[in-house]
Structures are given as C-alpha cells and as structure tokens.
Structure 1
C-alpha cells in the first residue's frame, strides 16, 4: 500500500506535526513495483465505499490490465495479493480526542479470486485511516503509471504525503532504508552506496516523472550521515497531473448538484477538474431543462463529452436537445454504461477495446473514444459482451 512514514520529530514538535495531520501510516516489508501499483488500484477501486462496505470487488482482468500484468497470469496476481495480505501497516498518531493512538494491520485482511472476480477487504481500523484525506492521500494512477522503478515510486509515495508541509521531516537512515525496502541489505548500510544506488536515481525519476520536486538533505553526527529529509515543492511542469484532494471542490454548489444527481464523489471531482465548474454547471442546467430524462447521469456524461448546447452559437448548429436517432440513442446508452463503471474499470475498458483495433480504427478510437463512428458496431458488441441485453430496448437503424 502507499507507504506513509511516521514523522521522526520528538516531543512537542512531533505532536504539532501530527496535529496538522502529517501522514502517520507506514508499511513494513518489501513491496515490488507491481505490488505497489496493485495496492493503489485496489484502494482507488474501494475508496468511495471503503468505510461503508466490508468487501470490495473488481474483475481480475481489469485489475491485471491496470497494473501491467498479463491478464492470463493469475499466478503472478495471486502472489502479489498474498504479499499484500502478509505486509503490515502501522500507524502512530493522535486520535480525534487528542490521545495517542497506535495500531497495526495487514494491508489486506483477505483477498480471493473466484469466477474472474477479485474480492478483498481491509480491516475496519485501517479502512478509516485510508479514507481520511487528512491522514492518507490517494495516488493519482496517471502519475503512478509513469514510474518504472519501485524505489522511485516508494519515494514519491512517502514524500507526496507531506506536500502541504513542504518537508518530510527528519527520518533516521534506518527508517528510510526500511521505507525503500532495503533494510535487510548490509550493502545499503553504507550511505555512499545508499545514495548512489537508491537516493539519487529515485530523486531523478520522481522529479522527472511526477507532479512534485524533491530535494534531499542530510544530517550528520561527526562525519557519519544519520538522518535524511526531503524538501518538497510542486512541479510546475507536471502539476496538471495532480487530482484535487476534494476539500475545495466539495464545497461547490456544482459538486452538490452532481452528487444529488447520483454522480460518484470521484467522478464529480474529475468532471469539475477537467471541464471547469462553469461548463459543468451549464451542462447541468441544460440536462435539467430537457425533462423526462430516464438516466440523467448518462445523459450528462454525453452532454459533457459531445458538448450539447441548447441554441446555435456563432453559426454552428447546436447539439440536439435529446439524442433521438437509433445511433444517437446507442451512443447515449454507451455513455450510461461507461459512466456506471468505477474509475479503474473505465480506463481498463478503453484499453481492452483499443487492444482489439489496428491502424485507422485505433486512431479514431483514441481521438473520439466511445463516440468513434468508425467503431460504432464494434463498440456496441463490446458493451453487449460486458452487459448482455444492454441495447435490447433500442431500435436498430
């Protein structure tokens, strides 16, 4: 899971850091790059219901594609899930009453594969910590996919938790080696080796790949390096990759309207980030004015995607008030089906379908997505395969 270390400050400084909700979860044991990616995908998939549901599910093929597994390599997936269940997460922080709270939990309380579906669960105590954005920050999968080194992703995860405070605070080298998964190697007990093989390459990849820039600083006792910390700043070149943590967007009236309509928390924030509040508000007003829309979320999805407008603008024909042709109705239905999928599933759906295409067909799909005219029949067949009978109530051309 995303590794969040305890701040190594002591006394009042430590308490002050914890009161500011500096992240206080860290993970013991080694996680491979694929295991780290797997844990992040599982968390994102479960996030919206992590405290209200005891079990979570995702189809195994989707899960494999999201983290780069061969979709038929179930043995590797089993091994990675086993590793997460055997890895321990530990926290040491102040609770809501200001009392010190220590806890420990396996990353996954259980996981199973059955009928092509991966089912898993978190312990209730860990689920509460993972769901609290003040304690634990989700990793953007768009950024995660860019990493090629497990050490770099581990460094990013640990530093990203402290982006608001601008520094990780001092970590002992013992703790740092543990966070990087090299605590068992005598070779890395020598700082020169640790710096050359772990720190410098990881810092370079984080600064090149992610939405933050990190700068290491060391503290010595005599000539011996004893502690390390990382200064953290936003990367102005890649900051657009970051996803709003929700604190600002959730206060908007647009967000409230989206949620009342039935749009999930993460999809609401995604739309507001991608299209802007003004545009989403306009489309909400537009959909509300149509009347009789059976699936307003699906129709709103199509309105944002296709830029439905109620009147002619600067000589261009407006989008239809309602899709009425058989093809338009099928397109709207596809949007409904796609919007009902979880974020991880939506991305995997596109990858699955794109993998079936070549040449101009793939290029048209990459440009237009599920609205691709060249792939209309194939798109219908794809969604019919995922959701049998999804188009039975619609007329053919």
Structure 2
C-alpha cells in the first residue's frame, strides 16, 4: 500500500467516523428520552423545522409514567441546556467545529410535545456516517446513565474499532463528571465510572469495549476504548427494508400515529404476527373506551410488554350503575387478550427449556446446532429475525419450537390450542 493511499484512507475514515459528542450530564431517563425524540423525528429531520409527538407515547417509549409531566418537563429542559459538539473534516478537507443545544426548543400543550433541532445539528444527526442512532431495544437494557453515555460515545466509532485517544478531561466531560473534584483522581474515576460502565456495556449491548490508558510523567493522561461488534444489528440496518414497509402491520402502525422508523423497528424486532396481535388488542381496548386521546402510547406500552389495564374512574360518588351486558365484540376482545397472555407464557416456558439445554452444551455444540437450524430457514424475514435475535426471535419462533422439540429429551410444551386467530 503506497504512502499516498494510506493517507487518503486515514483521512476518509476520519471524515466519515461519527464525530458528534453529547454532553454527559444527562440522567439515564433524560438520555433515553433524547434518543426517543430523535427516533420519532428522524424521517423528517431535513424537511420539517419542528416535530410533534403525543406525550403519552413519548413517555411510554422512554419508560416512565405517562402522566408525570413534571419529569417530562425537566427532561426537556435538560436537553435544551445540553450541548452536542462536533469536530471533523468537511468536504473541502478543512476542519469543521460546531456546537448546538440538543434541542432548540420544546413545548407541551394539550398532551402533545412539540420540539425542534437547529438546522446544522439536524443535518449532522440525519447523516449515518456522522451520527449513528442506537437500537431502542438495547437502550432499554441500560440501568446506568454513565454506562449509556459511554455506549453512545463509543458506538459512534464502531466502524473504526477505536475511539482514538481522548484526553482524560474530555472523557470526564463526556461522562458528566468534569465538575467533580472527586473524579480528578483517576483511581476513583476508574473504580466508580470506567470499570462499571464497561462491564454494563459489554453485558447488555451490541458492542464490547476494552479500555486502554496512556501515561505521561507516570500519570494517566489519555484513555481510549477498543470496540468490537458482537453480531447484533443497529437501527440503521433495518432503515430501508421494503419488505417491512409493505406489511399490513406497518400500514396499521403508521395509521395509528407511530413514526415510520419506529414502526419498522417494532416489526423487525417482534415480527408482524405479534405486532398485529397487539394492534387488535388495542383496537378492542379503544372500543371499550379505555384508550385516551391517541392510541400510540397504548400501543407502545402493549408492544413492549408494559401494558396494564387501568379501570376508568366513576364520574360521581354515587353507586355505580349495573355494568352493561358485554357485547359479542367485548367477549371476543377479552378472549383474545387472555389468549395472547397464555401464548406469551407458553413462549417463555419453551425458551427457558431451550436456554437451559444450550447452557449445558459446549461452544462447539452450540455453534453446530445454530448452523444446522440456520440452514433450515428459507424465508428472508425469518433468517433476518434469527440473525438479529437468535433463539428468542419471535418472527421465527414456530420453526424454532419445531426444531427444538426434536432435540430436547423431554420435549417442549405444545402451543395452546385456544390462541385466537385475528380477523
């Protein structure tokens, strides 16, 4: 390889490596909310100056009580006060530095959250070679704000395999501890921030990290993280999936107010059948009057397994009237809900047996079983599901059950025969 080619390749990598860093003083919840806002707005980042999302949907996606608007206001305030900074080579080969607040404004009115990004930041966020959005399913696994901050800032560099050397002061700022005298001591920073965060990233995310330090005058001055992928896929791997956009589930989700990218994510993650079951269930709840305003928040909670039926409050303190006689539609909805619950319990029971069997096998045996099953998959969607979610892939579970029923000595439970078919 010639010296000129080496330089050109290095500059190309630097130009295209994700270069946006987000300030680290966001809580775990605030950081999750930021990613949910971006996911919802992504398709329209370059064509709309502001974006709107039902507050209940946003809260359900972010994982907190939908009526806690004080928490939502605090999170939006924090995002407006948090900066995103980039430093990269422009198209002309000259260095470009920029800074912007994460959101330029936000407004809550009539149960709807309206927000906007500055135009320069929106352009950077839209370009996957500059800023890679993270997988919402993976985000839900994090329990530490520092770990999620480390994951986000490392994931931007996954294509090059290393973050490069960060000055320790830069790293403290990314973690949101730059104004704490306690963490000026590297041993404390390492014990309380670096090691626990690396451990959580490696255990719950789609990348693995190894921290390395560089010393000057016997003191740690720089840190970098070596990054490898563990086989899962990012949000953008599914961004242009025509097959998903042609499904009935995708059309119904969009009609119910779900953003196009989130609709694709749900179908890719859970499978069309599962999503349609949840859509039917929420439609039934809406007919009973249990769905307030738009159904988007209800759908988010149902699909992510966070749904709980909350009885409607009585309008007066007087004795409630006798409940109306259930209609055939009501009875069908209740039967469908019960059937879905039994189906979920059956699937969990099967997976418990499968996981236990895999645990007893050697790595070579596990790989052989996986390769054997992969060869049986002829459907593109099922192959994609299994590649992404392994044995827990809902979209391929019928074949997974049939395959393992022959491998497990005691067999697997049969699927409940009263699972209702959708109309």
The alignment status of 1:245 with 2:198, answered yes or no, reads no
Segments of 5+ residues of structure 2 without an aligned counterpart are: 1-6, 255-259, 288-293, 311-333, 348-393, 395-415
Contact 2:135 2:235 in 1 (8 A): no
**Aligned length in residues:** 305
In structure 2, the residue matched to 1:44 is 39
Give the superposition deviation at 1:303. 11
Partner residue, 1:347: 300
Structure 1 contact 169–230 (Cα < 8 Å) conserved: yes
TM-superposed CA distance for 1:48, in Å, is 1.0
Name the TM-score, length of structure 1 as normaliser: 0.65
Tell whether 2:213 aligns with 1:215.
no
Counterpart secondary structure, 1:157: helix
SS at match of 2:236: coil
Distance 1:214 1:50, change over 3 A: same
Query: Which residue is 2:19 aligned to?
Result: 24
Q: Distance in 1 between matches of 2:342 and 2:228?
A: 38
Alignment of 1:156-305 (within 5 A): 156-236=151-231, 239=232, 242-243=233-234, 245-246=236-237, 250=240, 254=243, 264=260, 267=263
**Could you tell me which residue of structure 1 aligns to residue 106 of structure 2?**
111
Within 2, Cα distance between the matches of 1:89 and 1:151?
A: 17
Alpha-carbon distance in 2 for matches of 1:131, 1:64 = 23
SS at match of 1:354: coil
1:363 aligns to 2:359 (yes or no): no
Q: Distance in 1 between matches of 2:193 and 2:266?
A: 34
Following superposition, the deviation at residue 97 of structure 1 comes to 3.2
Q: Which residue among 40, 54, 62 is the counterpart of 2:57?
A: 62
Alpha carbons 1:24, 1:92 under 8 Å: kept: yes
Q: Does 1:132 align with 2:127?
A: yes
User: Against the structure 1 CA distance between its residues 86 and 268, is the aligned structure 2 distance closer, same or farther, given a 3 Å change threshold?
Assistant: closer
State the partner residue of 1:295: none
- Residue 254 of structure 1 and its aligned partner are, at CA, apart by 5.0
Match of 2:410 in 1: none
Deviation of 1:101 after TM superposition, in Å, equals 1.9
The one-character-per-residue Cα deviations of 1:167-188 (angstroms, maximum 9, x if unpaired) are: 1111010000000000001111
| In 2: Cα distance, 1:63 partner to 1:243 partner | 21
| C-alpha distance after superposition, 1:217-247 (max 9, x if no partner) | 01011321110001111225xx2xx33524x
Query: What residue ranges of structure 1 are gaps of 5+ in the alignment?
Result: 1-10, 276-300, 307-326, 335-340, 380-396
CA distance in 2, matches of 1:361, 1:138: 36
CA RMSD of aligned residues (A): 4.1
Taking a change above 3 Å as real, the CA distance of residues 203 and 171 of structure 1, as seen in their structure-2 partners, is same
Q: CA deviation at 1:57?
A: 1.2
d(CA) in 2 for partners of 1:114 and 1:249?
A: 31
Alpha-carbon offset, residue 27 of structure 1: 2.4
Q: Distance in 2 between matches of 1:351 and 1:67?
A: 11
Please report how far the alpha carbon of residue 269 of structure 1 lies from its aligned counterpart in structure 2 after TM superposition: 7.1
DSSP-derived class of the 2:209 partner: strand
Indicate if the aligned counterparts of 1:174 and 1:183 stay in contact, CA closer than 8 A: yes
In structure 2, C-alpha distance between the alignment counterparts of 1:183 and 1:193, rounded to whole Å: 13
Q: Helix, strand or coil for the counterpart of 1:30?
A: coil
Instruction: Return the structure number with greater helix share.
Output: 2
Partners of 1:149 and 1:51 in 2: CA distance? 32
The match for 2:377 is none
